[in-house]
Amino acid sequence: MRKHENRDNLEVRPVSITKLSLKQVDSAIEYRLGLTKVTILVNEVSTAGELTVDINQWLGIKASVNVDVITSSLKTALAEPLKEKGFALQVQITQVDGDVVAAVINASYVAIQNLLLQNDGQQLKPFSAVNVGFIDFELFVDLTGQEESDADSHLVIVQNESGAFLQLNFEKSNADLLGDKLTQLLGGAMEGLSELMGNSQKQTILIQNNHIENQKDVILIATKNEGKATEFKRLFNPLGFKITTLLDYPELPDVEETGKTFEENAKLKAETISNLTKLPVLADDSGLMVDALGGRPGIFSARYARDHDDAANNAKLLHELTDVPKEERTATFHTTLVFARPGSESLVADGEVAGLILGIPRGDNGFGYDPLFYVPELDKSMAELTETEKNKISHRGRATVNLMSEFNDWWEK
């Protein structure tokens, strides 16, 4: 199966609805596929030059009021709660190539969800459309109009988040597209559709709405680590900041930590998420550096034995240090923090704490390697400290103090 040649990712293609005008629309055809009612997506032209994409039924909205998405009167038209009122989108397109139809549907979903968020905060059940087809017996996902004209057969598929096919848009010439070929097309489409729903659309919605744009003193921390999130909340709340993390934004993508240093990785996390959300974003990249292991696991601490598996990572650490005597089990926890915001150079700060790796784990608090990290001046493991005690001496706590000493100047710039 191939994706469109020039695109690595499927995308919610921006459809500039105003600029397009209709060439031709096939008349409605209705199919039955098993028990699923399959209707042509594009309804008949209502007036010359107009194509109605009727998505009311997917939205579960009662009545139908025609709303022109592109006019500025839209917001006024939507003054009443949308769910009470109902509406249809009318869009004009130059052609009915499947890629345009799919793009119109995707753009419609994004547009409507954005309007709802601005109106009454209602969340729609997501749906996406994709154009799939066979060219010389090879399955292509996200066909362009040009590819579509070379295709032996193709169709536009609309699916919702729970995987139900909402509509299939068959061309008349594809009426024989049944059996294995259809199954293959549906399989290919499902992959493309889940990518669209999972990433592109939600991101677009999030970015366009910028949920917390107007909330002052909110910091988004680009972490999915619950242990870090808890520590940051305790560190920043007393300073008057409200902390949100990526755990509050499941629609944002994972940022791959491909850097070679803590700073490179922290920058990648902070700057990627700040660019996407246009928010001030703080990221932490941290890890344990064990002297007897030449500084390992270092930047690979989260994936030392197995990815984010604390038990396996701790077991590997103990195993590697089996014959290393106490005085040689010295180690350092390191954190690099990067604060990024649109249009500024990022602020960077480090923090470290020195300790020893124990032979057996102690304590239940904290996370990661805390039960094996002994802090000599407190005569306790990190996992035996309360959160407040840990924050006072930890690499993350110290990095935060260092960051805050420069924060005001940087923030005012």
Ligand X SMILES: O=c1[nH]c(=O)c2ncn([C@@H]3O[C@H](COP(=O)(O)OP(=O)(O)OP(=O)(O)O)[C@@H](O)[C@H]3O)c2[nH]1
225 labelled binding-site residue: yes
Return the bridge partners of 381, or none. 374
Beta pairing, strands 30-33 & 127-135: unpaired
Cβ contact 369:293 at 8 Å: no
Q: How far is the CB of 396 from ligand X (least distance, A)?
A: 6
The tokens describing 113, both together, are: 């969800």
Q: How far is the CB of 346 from Mg ion (least distance, A)?
A: 18
Q: Which does 87 bind (CB under 5 to 8 A by kind): Mg ion, ligand X, none?
A: none
Q: Does the protein bind ligand X through residue 287 (CB under 6 A)?
A: yes
* Contact with ligand X (CB under 6 A) among 91, 302, 349, 357: 302
Neighbours of 337 (CB within 10 A): 28
DSSP-H helix ranges across 138-297: 145-150, 179-195, 202-209, 226-236, 262-277
| Contact map string, positions 315 to 354, toward ligand X, x by CB under 6 A | ------------------x---------------------
Q: Phi and psi dihedrals of 61, rounded to 5? A: -100, 140
User: Does the active-site annotation cover 285?
Assistant: yes
Neighbours of 361 (CB within 10 A): 17
Q: Does the protein bind ligand X through residue 301 (CB under 6 A)?
A: yes
228 labelled binding-site residue: yes
Q: Does the protein bind ligand X through residue 195 (CB under 6 A)?
A: no
Residue 247: C-alpha distances to residues 244, 267, 268, 277, 335 (Å): 8, 19, 18, 15, 20
The tokens describing 94, both together, are: 């130059």
User: What distance in Å separates the CA atoms of residue 335 and residue 357, rounded to the nearest whole number?
Assistant: 18
DSSP-H helix ranges across 96-152: 98-119, 145-150
Q: Does the protein bind ligand X through residue 225 (CB under 6 A)?
A: yes
| Contact map string, positions 284 to 323, toward Mg ion, x by CB under 5 A | ------------------x---------------------
Q: Does the protein bind ligand X through residue 272 (CB under 6 A)?
A: no
* Contact with ligand X (CB under 6 A) among 202, 228, 341, 398: 228
* Contact with ligand X (CB under 6 A) among 108, 174, 203, 286: 286
**Residues interacting with ligand X, by CB under 6 A?**
223-225, 228, 257, 284-288, 301-302, 333, 366-370, 373, 382, 394, 396
- List, by residue number, the catalytic residues: 285
